[in-house]
Amino acid sequence: MDEIDELLSIRAAELYYEENKTQDEIGQALRLTRWKVGRLLAQAKQRGFIRIEILHPRARRLPIERRLRDERGLADAIVVSTAGVTSPEELQARTAQAAADYLTALRPVPRTLGVSWGRTLFEISQHLRQGWATGVNVVQINGGVSLNRRPGTAAATAVGIAQKGGGSATLLPSPAILERLETKEAIESDRVVAGVIELARSADAYLFSAGAADHSSVHVESGYLSAPDVDLLVQKGAVGDVVGRYIDSDGNIVDPALDARTVGLTLDELRKAHLAIAVISGPGKLAVADAVVRSSLCSVLVTDEATALHLLGG
Amino acid sequence: MDEIDELLSIRAAELYYEENKTQDEIGQALRLTRWKVGRLLAQAKQRGFIRIEILHPRARRLPIERRLRDERGLADAIVVSTAGVTSPEELQARTAQAAADYLTALRPVPRTLGVSWGRTLFEISQHLRQGWATGVNVVQINGGVSLNRRPGTAAATAVGIAQKGGGSATLLPSPAILERLETKEAIESDRVVAGVIELARSADAYLFSAGAADHSSVHVESGYLSAPDVDLLVQKGAVGDVVGRYIDSDGNIVDPALDARTVGLTLDELRKAHLAIAVISGPGKLAVADAVVRSSLCSVLVTDEATALHLLGG
DNA sequence: GGCGATCGTGCTCATATGAGCAGACGAGCG
DNA sequence: CGCTCGTCTGCTCATATGAGCACGATCGCC
């Protein structure tokens, strides 16, 4: 297209989209036939001169979702729009809302839902509506109730999701990571704990997030790991954690010894699940998000536009 | 509209604009009639959820132009889009291009065009195409050839516009501002100078910019005024200058004594013109732009979107 | 509880738009 | 010089969309 046509297509686009004239009227104004106008508009679109944005906190990006499904082999993907986002909190809220919406619309409704805990999960629980489901029982899939500095967040998450969904919550009464392997094995052989883990294994669906491998991690905040511990993990290639288990960029366990002291479902159990919903968003989690998707830890991903584009761009 | 309809309208908009489904298909997907879908889309537009932007350096904002004409009484207005602008230089270039386009499309073609000089005018001269008109003679409307540090800019502007328009340029061989009133009167009574000014008065159209009242002014740069002079003018209420004459926010001359020493067309002569095209853009010129429009110094304004919205918002 | 006002709904019909096609035009080549 | 090929143009026709209308539900008011 030469410059004259390019300019005409811009003039046509202005009249069409900003002044909502018909293509015929534009044709008269610019001394073109209406078919020429239609073609100019089509070219303007195709060449990317026209950008249509949907400005709404609940807006999604369906074309990106499709690409994620097709190119990254996900069963489903939910991508929230970042248009008009001003703060990290807003991004987090939008993603949590989208996850809550996805859960609410999920069919068939899971009878048992396995959940992890953390900031993201807690926010999802808050965005769920009272009565989002009827009779959904919730079970924790990794430990972490007791040592939390902000007590009750882990429990509140599971209980909140269950209560709003008209079911009950089953907590996993165990720390996330234990100091000694023996203690971990002893705890796992406890009848109650073993029962909870068994229940978690039988869940119809899992909902979890992933943490970045840095000092802002809930594991550091909760006291399960120290800042130097995390530095060491990063040195070994860790990009983040999923249900308390640190993985590298290929989704492999970074520190098997540490992993053996971590209570809850294993990553392979997650991988075998029919429905594993990961909710991961924010610029700090690009690497983990990629690792999770690359290693098929989730079948469904809820994320933001920027993260999604990163997953597709690499 | 309740929340459920709001969400539906967003879903519909996603399917319509991002997935280009027909309203009928969307109706089937969301279990709505196609008429309902059409109404949801109309509401989404009307409530501002849908934003359509035209991303092109030559794109204009016609609705804003219309409002400027209607609400600020301009004969015509050209508003360039700021979408995708990354630097002040780009904004300047877009505005200059728009002014050049406007001149080129101007009918009837002016036989004599009065021009001021400065950074903006120079850039317009560069954006004009060879042969933008045939036989347009250009005359300077205010003094300022000699003292310029970057010599020749003022002359190059007028000469460039004339040469590309197949005409000749008439320069005003005088400083912009003289130190003594007597000198100014002597210069104006010179046969050549008086002849040029007489020619300028008879021009069919005027093209000029406006300067902000600060130290970045070309008058400071050219040595006609010192920084403290400008500070004093600001103290007296100056918001900027037009053809070398400093005005307050109502368009009145700030310092009559200084004005009497300024060579060129007077502001009232500009106001009486049939066609006075002001080209003013950039965040530093909001106040002058407002003063120029408020006091009818121009009949046509070429500006950027942000400045235009400022003119409408106050 | 009856009644009108108001709103939302799904229709009919007119209009706007896009797909596909036949002819015109011009560039490149034998 | 004439041919062919590809591109662009303006058409026909099918489809998508929007305006306007009649109906029924809902609500407030008496």
Side-chain half-sphere exposure of A290, counting CA atoms within 13 A: 18
Helices A23-30, A34-46: inter-axial angle, 10-degree rounding = 100
pLDDT in tens, A258-281: 999 999 999 999 999 999 999 999
Q: Do B10 and A63 touch (CB under 8 A)?
A: no
Residue A4 pLDDT > 90: no
A-chain residues near B83 (CB < 8 A): 51
DSSP calls for chain A = --HHHHHHHHHHHIIIIIS---HHHHHHHHT--HHHHHHHHHHHHHTT-EEEEE--TT-B-HHHHHHHHHHH--SEEEEE--TT--SHHHHHHHHHHHHHHHHHH-SSPPSEEEE--SHHHHHHHHHSPTTSSSS-EEEESB--SSS-SSTTHHHHHHHHHHHHTTS-EE---S-SB-SSHHHHHHHHHSHHHHHHHHHHHT-SEEEEEEEESSTTSHHHHTTSS-HHHHHHHHHTT--EEETTEEE-TTS-BS-HHHHHTB-B--HHHHHT-S-EEEE--SGGGHHHHHHHHHTT--SEEEEEHHHHHHHHH-
> Within 29-58 of chain A, which residues have Cβ less than 7 Å from strand C?
34-35, 38, 41-42
Q: Do B14 and A51 touch (CB under 8 A)?
A: no
pLDDT in tens, A84-132: 999 999 999 999 999 999 999 998 999 999 999 999 999 999 999 999 9
Q: What is the pTM of this model?
A: 0.88
B63 touching A (Cβ < 8 Å): yes
pLDDT bracket for residue B1 (50, 70, 90) = low
pLDDT in tens, A142-167: 987 554 455 567 889 999 999 999 99
DSSP assigned state of B57: T
pLDDT in tens, B164-176: 999 999 999 888 9
Q: Please name the residue whose C-alpha is nearest to the C1' of nucleotide D18.
A: B38
Residue B85 pLDDT > 90: yes
Chain length of chain B: 314
Q: Do B14 and A49 touch (CB under 8 A)?
A: no
Report residue A181: phi and psi, to 5°: -60, -40
B-chain residues near A16 (CB < 8 A): none
Top-confidence residue, A3 or B161: B161
A48 touching B (Cβ < 8 Å): yes
From the CA of B7 to the C1' of D16: give the distance in Å: 24
A-chain residues near B62 (CB < 8 A): 14-15, 18-19
Query: What pLDDT, on the 0 to 100 scale, is given for residue A150?
Result: 56
pLDDT in tens, B89-144: 999 999 999 999 999 999 899 999 999 999 999 999 999 999 999 999 999 999 87
Residue A25 pLDDT > 90: yes
Q: Do B54 and A14 touch (CB under 8 A)?
A: yes
Q: Which nucleotide is nearest to A35 (CA to C1')?
A: D10
B-chain residues near A51 (CB < 8 A): 52-55, 83
pLDDT in tens, A214-238: 998 888 888 888 899 999 999 999 9
What domains can you pick out in chain A, each with its CATH number?
A: 3-47 (1.10.10.10), 62-311 (3.40.50.1360)
pLDDT bracket for residue B18 (50, 70, 90) = very high
Q: Do B18 and A49 touch (CB under 8 A)?
A: no
From the CA of B154 to the C1' of C12: give the distance in Å: 67
Query: What pLDDT, on the 0 to 100 scale, is given for residue A299?
Result: 97
Query: What pLDDT, on the 0 to 100 scale, is given for residue B145?
Result: 58
Query: What pLDDT, on the 0 to 100 scale, is given for residue A3?
Result: 81
B60 touching A (Cβ < 8 Å): yes
A-chain residues near B7 (CB < 8 A): 58
- The C-alpha atoms of residue B44 and residue A52 are separated, in whole angstroms, by 13
Q: Do B54 and A13 touch (CB under 8 A)?
A: yes
pLDDT in tens, B242-290: 999 999 999 999 999 999 999 999 999 999 999 999 999 999 999 999 9
* Structure tokens belonging to residue B84: 């995708």
Q: Is the CB of A39 under 7 A from strand D?
A: yes
Query: What pLDDT, on the 0 to 100 scale, is given for residue B245?
Result: 96
Top-confidence residue, A174 or A124: A124
Nearest by CB to A62, from B14, B54, B56: name it: B14
Q: Which nucleotide is nearest to B40 (CA to C1')?
A: C8
Query: What pLDDT, on the 0 to 100 scale, is given for residue B149?
Result: 52
Query: What pLDDT, on the 0 to 100 scale, is given for residue A210?
Result: 96
- The C-alpha atoms of residue B188 and residue B179 are separated, in whole angstroms, by 14
Q: Which nucleotide is nearest to A25 (CA to C1')?
A: C16
pLDDT in tens, A44-66: 999 999 999 999 999 999 999 99
pLDDT in tens, B198-222: 999 999 999 999 999 999 888 888 8
B-chain residues near A48 (CB < 8 A): 55
Q: Average pLDDT, whole number, for chain B?
A: 93
Mean pLDDT is lowest, of A189-193, B2-6, B15-19, B111-115, for B2-6
Query: How many CB atoms lie under 10 A from the CB of residue A171?
Result: 18
Min Cα separation B94/chain A (Å): 14
Residue of A nearest to B7 (CA): A58
Q: Average pLDDT, whole number, for chain A?
A: 93
pLDDT bracket for residue A13 (50, 70, 90) = very high
